[in-house]
Amino acid sequence: MDTRTKEAIRYLGYGSHAVDDHTLALVESSFAELDQIAGKRIIYRIFDVSFKEADRLQIGKLDIISKNLGKNLAGCQSAVILGATLGAGVDMLLRKYTLTDMARVVTLQACAAAMLEEYLDECQQNIGKKLEKERLYLRPRFSPGYGDFPIEHQKMILRMLDTAKTIGLTMTDSSMLTPTKSVTAVIGVSRSKEPCHMKGCEACDKKDCIYRRCP
């Protein structure tokens, strides 16, 4: 079983329980459909980071008050700001099944989430390899809505990256991204290499890490 299949099953709430053959087949066929229609796109830029206080910082035009993000970016002089999406085709596929097959809708949602995370991991690895040539290293991804990093900051992130034009990513008045299978994130850039898990705090067992964004 590959990593993204395991992640999709985790999103479906199976935890440590064995998945039945029917569900596994549904996951596999859902990924097959998503692979056909997903339009993966990403845009990122690197901005200077300055701290006004331990929990107040500036990243480009982003003026942020967040203890969790401040802790995550401690020691960073710059940060990657990114936006990524699987494209509008995924939303169309979900709407297609909404009236006829809710089991597939739920499975597609889980598979799309796993696909987006896999894509972000790959992109982060590529960005990290480029920066390591300059002896710069990445911290874990940190998105608006994590911890005390307000989700409302997505609006400025989209403006900073001009995502509507670059990757077709916009936002509703309620701060929901469109297409829905999309994400914005901040990744700290540091001159010191920290043993941080790329996927972030949810996937890491080190509960006493000084960069941990949540309990």
Structure-block tokens of residue 107: 């499975």
Provide the residue ranges of all domains of the chain, joining segments of one domain with +.
3-192
- Predicted confidence at residue 215, as pLDDT, reads 44
Please answer whether residues 126 and 133 qualify as being in contact, where contact means their C-beta atoms are separated by less than 8 angstroms. no
- Predicted confidence at residue 194, as pLDDT, reads 75
Site of tokens 């709430």:
13
Print pLDDT tens along the chain (215 aa). Answer: 889 999 999 999 987 778 899 999 999 999 999 999 999 999 999 999 999 888 899 999 899 999 999 999 999 999 999 999 999 999 999 999 999 999 999 999 999 999 999 999 999 999 999 999 999 999 999 999 999 999 999 999 999 999 999 999 999 988 899 999 999 999 999 998 876 655 555 545 455 554 444 44
The three-state secondary structure class of 107 is helix
pTM above 0.85, yes or no: yes
The helix (run of H) or strand (run of E) holding residue 110 is helix 102-132
> Which residues 6+ apart lie within 8 Å of 75 measured at CB?
190, 191, 192
187-196 as b/e: b if 16+ CB within 10 A = bbbbeeeeeb
- Predicted confidence at residue 53, as pLDDT, reads 85
| CATH class of segment(s) 3-192 | alpha beta
Please answer whether residues 153 and 144 qualify as being in contact, where contact means their C-beta atoms are separated by less than 8 angstroms. yes
- Distance from CA of residue 182 to its chain's centroid? 8
- Predicted confidence at residue 208, as pLDDT, reads 53
- Predicted confidence at residue 18, as pLDDT, reads 82
The helix (run of H) or strand (run of E) holding residue 22 is helix 21-37
- Predicted confidence at residue 98, as pLDDT, reads 94
Question: What does DSSP assign to residue 19?
Answer: P
Torsion, Cα of 128, 87, 152, 159 (10° steps): 70
DSSP letters of 130-177? HHHTTT-EEEEEE-TTSTTS-GGGHHHHHHHHTHHHHT--EE-TTS-E
- Predicted confidence at residue 54, as pLDDT, reads 81
The CA distance from 59 to 183, in Å, is 18
